[in-house]
Amino acid sequence: MTKQIPDIVVGRLPRYLQALEHMQKDGFMTTSSKELGANLGISAAQIRKDLSQFGGFGKQGMGYSIQSLINQLRSILHVNQSWKLALVGIGDLGNALARYQGFTSRGFHIVLAFDIDPEKIGGKIGNIEIMDAAKIAEEVRKNDVKIAMLTVPSTAAQNIAVELVKGGVLAILNYAPISLSLPDHVHVEYVDPIVKLQHMTFYL
């Protein structure tokens, strides 16, 4: 049986990767757990512990090769490949996400877009056609899309999510401010600025 990796550790790996990619862009070749930790506001011990869950990637006395650690993390996170995304809800936020260059450059390609507004259906966003949300399950399955981003009103989110799952979607990035009830095998991450703002106002 595969060793169980704590989800909280998995959640830190993308931030390690992000920081390493910045360091590489800035021309650095190697780093240490101490330096990476200082960059991210995380203890050096925690970084070493997290990484050691997957193997020994560093050298005593020398630290880590940035390129090599980037490659390892990409492989661990399964982002050393490209992923197809579906985008549901082509309002202001959906439009902003569709235009964001960061997805493509990281291997996430929006290949399907859906809305329920007849005015929008048939139109284009970038070079893909906006389709009727009624076709979600069918199209998602046909295109073998496993990841979706949901930017619809919260009243619609649960039903749309169910359709996505019917089509075979396994991971949903949910921008709607509501908790989704889905089968356990589906991974959901929430992005809600209000939740984050209210977290901070506690301290003000």
User: Residue 42 or 156: which CB sits closer to DNA?
Assistant: 42
Among candidate residues 30, 104, 108, the one with its CA nearest the CA of residue 69: 30
From the list DNA, a second copy, none, pick the one residue 22 interacts with, judged by a Cβ distance below 5 to 8 Å according to partner type.
a second copy
Indicate the length of the chain as a whole number. Answer: 204
For residue 64, what are the β-bridge partners? 31
- Taking each helix axis from N to C terminus, what angle separates 7-25 and 66-77, rounded to the nearest 10 degrees? 140
4 vs 134: CA distance, rounded Å: 38
Binding mask 124-143 for a second copy (x = CB under 8 A): --------------------
**What do you get for the CA distance between the two ends of the chain, in Å?**
47
Applying CB under 7 A, among 22, 38, 45, 75 the residue interacting with DNA is 45
Assess 7 for contact with DNA (CB under 7 A): yes
Binding mask 39-78 for a second copy (x = CB under 8 A): xxx----------------------------------xxx
Q: How is 151-170 classified by DSSP, letter by letter?
A: -S-HHHHHHHHHHHHHTT--
For tokens 């996400």, the residue is 97
Indicate whether 8 belongs to the interface with DNA (CB under 7 A). Answer: yes
Residues that bind a second copy (CB under 8 A): 10-11, 13-15, 17-19, 22, 39-41, 76-79, 83, 92-93, 95-97, 99-100, 102-103, 106, 108, 146-147, 149, 154, 170-171, 173, 177-179, 187, 189, 191-204
